[in-house]
Structure 1
Amino acid sequence: MSDKGDKIETIEDAGSPAYSQTRGQKFKRHCARRWWIYLIGAILVILAVVLGIIFGAIPKIAQNSVNDSTIQVDGIAITDPSNTQFTISMNSTAHSHSPVSAHFSPQTFEMYLPPAAGQQPVTFMELSIGELQIQDVMTINVSNVVTNILNNDAYNNFSAQVLNNETMVLGIKSNPQVNVGSIKFHVDYQKTVTLKGLNGLKGILLTNPQILNESLEDGTNMYTDGMIPNPSSFTLQVGDLTVDVSAGPIPIGYAVVKNLTLYPGDNHVKIYNHVPADLVKTEFFAKSLTFPNTTITLTANSTVFNGQHIEWLEKPLKDAPPVMAILNPPQ
């Protein structure tokens, strides 16, 4: 009986119904066995979010920061002019705000005049800029860079606006690489700046006319002191500037300003006058030089640097209206 009872008890235990688990318990048991799969999945999701921020949000933030930035050109010097190239120096200040520490790799500024609606900008010169740390205030300076004229028509138009306009607008664009740590991406940089021009060289004053007893070897027979105002932030090396001179309808020869460089502010120069011999010796001419506040008409004739006519200086000056200078202005 004992053996039989044990047998029956064993059979009853084996045949008892299995324990029923809830869905939650089954899921917990599954997670316990497969935890490493979910961990990898979570890491991939987090990585995707982080990469999305890095390669999506950060470049967008950087582009917005570039769009909101401003640039101010403090001074431009154009020297050693020729008809194909010149030397340029530029001082400028950019204002920006970057939420992260970053810097621009070396880039190239393309200079152009803002085009009319529907037209594409035409680059007339390029300027290489070194690496820049992005800060709230950035100083951007370049010195004595030899620059080629990339488009003659566009550069002639730029020169004409610099010489003849009270203000002019210059466009600057580039596609610099931004470096945020090891993350690198490009942004579009395009700005316009308003600059003061030379305003047609208006306001020239002439003083201290002096007739020479003997003409110089080059034909100069009278000196005049001159003041040429430059209200712009441009420094412009012109070379020898020759102008035709008249008093009202009466031509009185021509005058030369030698080795002229126009700096911002008042430029005091010596003027070499070539007055017709039959006029310079007359008593009337000598007396007229003492009249106060006399209007003298100056019409540009030529600009020569290193023996070469500089067309992008000469043509705008010749095409511009004559300049009304004042001889013996009131003190």
Structure 2
Amino acid sequence: MGRNDYIGAGQFATPGKGKASQHDGIEKDSSSSAQIIGDAGNVSQVKAISRPTKTQVIKKHIGRFWVCYGIGGIVLLAIGLPILFLVIVPKIAQRLVDDADLPIYSVTIRNPKANSVVITLATSLKIPKGLTVHLDPLTLQLYRPEEPTFIPFVEVSLPGYKLRGTTNITLENQLVTIGDIDQFTKFLGNAVANQKFVIAARGKARAHLGALHADVTLDKKVTLDGLDNLKGFSIDSATAVFPPEADGTNLRARLTIPNRSTVSFDLGNETLNINGPNGLILGNATVLDVYVQPGNNTFEATGVLDLATLVGNLQTLITYWAPSLANGNIKLAASGNATIFNGEHIKYYEDILNGLELEGEVPVISLLANSLGNLLGGGMDGIKNLTDYLGLNVTEILGEFDSNLNTSTTSVRSRADPVMRTVDMG
């Protein structure tokens, strides 16, 4: 190949022409990215040129614009961190508080005064396992959710707590001021009158999740068992006292007051009216040191019966007692009169109990036996000796009384006509 045949690297002599080709000197095969170098008689193929990967492209891009990305990151942090601390973390903390269970195991209301009580409360707060929340001290406001507006009636203070799983929370003998007597009275009235009642509490505190903290609102409504109008109240026994004691006491009784709730009430000294029909008051009874705890509570009562009123309304009373007498019982009814604690009238308790009517029945035989036994001072032996001496059969006397009772419904003689023997005691 002569000098004129070689034009230059990558150039070919055009057959039949003495000039060099006007191409760039490099031809690309249409089927390959390989470059073909050489003359017409000697063509060789070299390795294809590799393209950069995506990672290399990104690194190169960041390397060129790192300043822009740095500024953008700072801007995002400046926007995102406040959102994290001011929005996201508080929402997480609030959600934990909202979802936490708050069962109330017991409530005790003691040492009542006109404007204050002493409260003991046992509850717990449960949060998801694996989380630990430190709760700062807070003030809880108790209120009635039935009201359209928020009216707290009592405020209680809780210390700080470390919450993990289920944490017991106890409020021990805390003296609290009654902020709203009307709302407090309504709350107690709901607890006494209903099978279920609601206690609600609201408070604000700071919660700490590790190094993060947030302000949260605790607002819980808890449904508890109520006293259901003291359903199950009973007069277990009653005894007439003759002659009356120095203070006028002529009646003694044993009462059972049930408490179906988890709330304990310290009432002090309770005076009850002994009621007949149509608002007739037959006397009063006093129960000392009344502390009503969950379950059945037994108390001794002393009473003063107005015998003049009793005798003057005997026919009305026999008619009133007829249904219970037919079953061998006598019905006694009572309602609140006064609640006195350490010499002070407790008006909010009086407002509730004075409108509460309690009824119980006492077996006639038990009443007569206890009364006669007390009169004779010898119990049942004394009664037996007396009836033996008089030649009386108590069963026959009561049967005769029951027979007379059944023959009259609306008009009953003030006295039955048992066969009585006149005994010459001379």
CA shift for structure 1 position 102: 1.6
CA shift for structure 1 position 266: 0.2
2:292 matched residue in structure 1: 262
Shift in CA distance, 306/185, structure 1 to aligned 2, threshold 3 Å? same
CA shift for structure 1 position 125: 0.1
1:132 partnered with 2:161: yes
Identical residues among aligned pairs (%): 23
Shift in CA distance, 29/97, structure 1 to aligned 2, threshold 3 Å? closer
Q: What CA distance in whole angstroms lies between the structure 2 residues aligned with 1:218 and 1:165?
A: 37
CA contact (8 A) 2:264 2:293 kept: yes
2:335 matched residue in structure 1: 299
1:326 partnered with 2:361: yes
CA shift for structure 1 position 208: 2.6
Q: What CA distance in whole angstroms lies between the structure 2 residues aligned with 1:220 and 1:110?
A: 45
Query: Once the two structures are superposed, what CA deviation does each residue of 1:182-218 show, in whole Å capped at 9, x if it has no partner?
Result: 3222112111111122222222111232223443343
CA contact (8 A) 1:77 1:236 kept: yes
1:111 partnered with 2:147: no
Query: Once the two structures are superposed, what CA deviation does each residue of 1:13-34 show, in whole Å capped at 9, x if it has no partner?
Result: xxxxxxxxxxx99x959947x8
CA contact (8 A) 1:202 1:325 kept: no
Q: What CA distance in whole angstroms lies between the structure 1 residues aligned with 2:86 and 2:206?
A: 14
Q: What CA distance in whole angstroms lies between the structure 1 residues aligned with 2:282 and 2:235?
A: 15
Q: In the alignment, residue 72 of structure 1 is paired with which amino acid? A: P
1:208 partnered with 2:237: yes
2:172 matched residue in structure 1: 143
1:88 to 108, 119, 135: 119
SS in 2 for 1:124: strand
1:73 partnered with 2:109: no
Q: What CA distance in whole angstroms lies between the structure 1 residues aligned with 2:204 and 2:129?
A: 17
2:21 matched residue in structure 1: none
2:228 matched residue in structure 1: 199
1:237 to 260, 266, 273: 266
Q: What CA distance in whole angstroms lies between the structure 1 residues aligned with 2:176 and 2:328?
A: 45
Shift in CA distance, 194/328, structure 1 to aligned 2, threshold 3 Å? farther
Query: Once the two structures are superposed, what CA deviation does each residue of 1:269-301 show, in whole Å capped at 9, x if it has no partner?
Result: 0011111255789xx9xxx99984432111211
CA shift for structure 1 position 255: 0.6
Query: Once the two structures are superposed, what CA deviation does each residue of 1:152-183 show, in whole Å capped at 9, x if it has no partner?
Result: 11111112112222211111111111012232
2:207 matched residue in structure 1: 178
Q: What CA distance in whole angstroms lies between the structure 2 residues aligned with 1:163 and 1:310?
A: 16
SS in 1 for 2:118: strand
Q: What CA distance in whole angstroms lies between the structure 1 residues aligned with 2:117 and 2:297?
A: 22
2:373 matched residue in structure 1: none
TM-score by length of 2: 0.63
Structure with the largest fraction of strand: 1
What are structure 2's unaligned runs of at least 5 residues? Answer: 1-55, 315-320, 367-426
Q: What CA distance in whole angstroms lies between the structure 1 residues aligned with 2:170 and 2:111?
A: 19
SS in 1 for 2:335: strand
1:226 matched residue in structure 2: 255
CA shift for structure 1 position 226: 0.9
Q: Structure with the greater relative contact order (CA < 8 A, sep ≥ 6): 1 or 2?
A: 1
CA shift for structure 1 position 98: 6.6
Q: What CA distance in whole angstroms lies between the structure 1 residues aligned with 2:284 and 2:79?
A: 76
CA RMSD of aligned residues (A): 3.4
Q: What CA distance in whole angstroms lies between the structure 2 residues aligned with 1:245 and 1:294?
A: 13
TM-score by length of 1: 0.79
CA shift for structure 1 position 50: 5.3
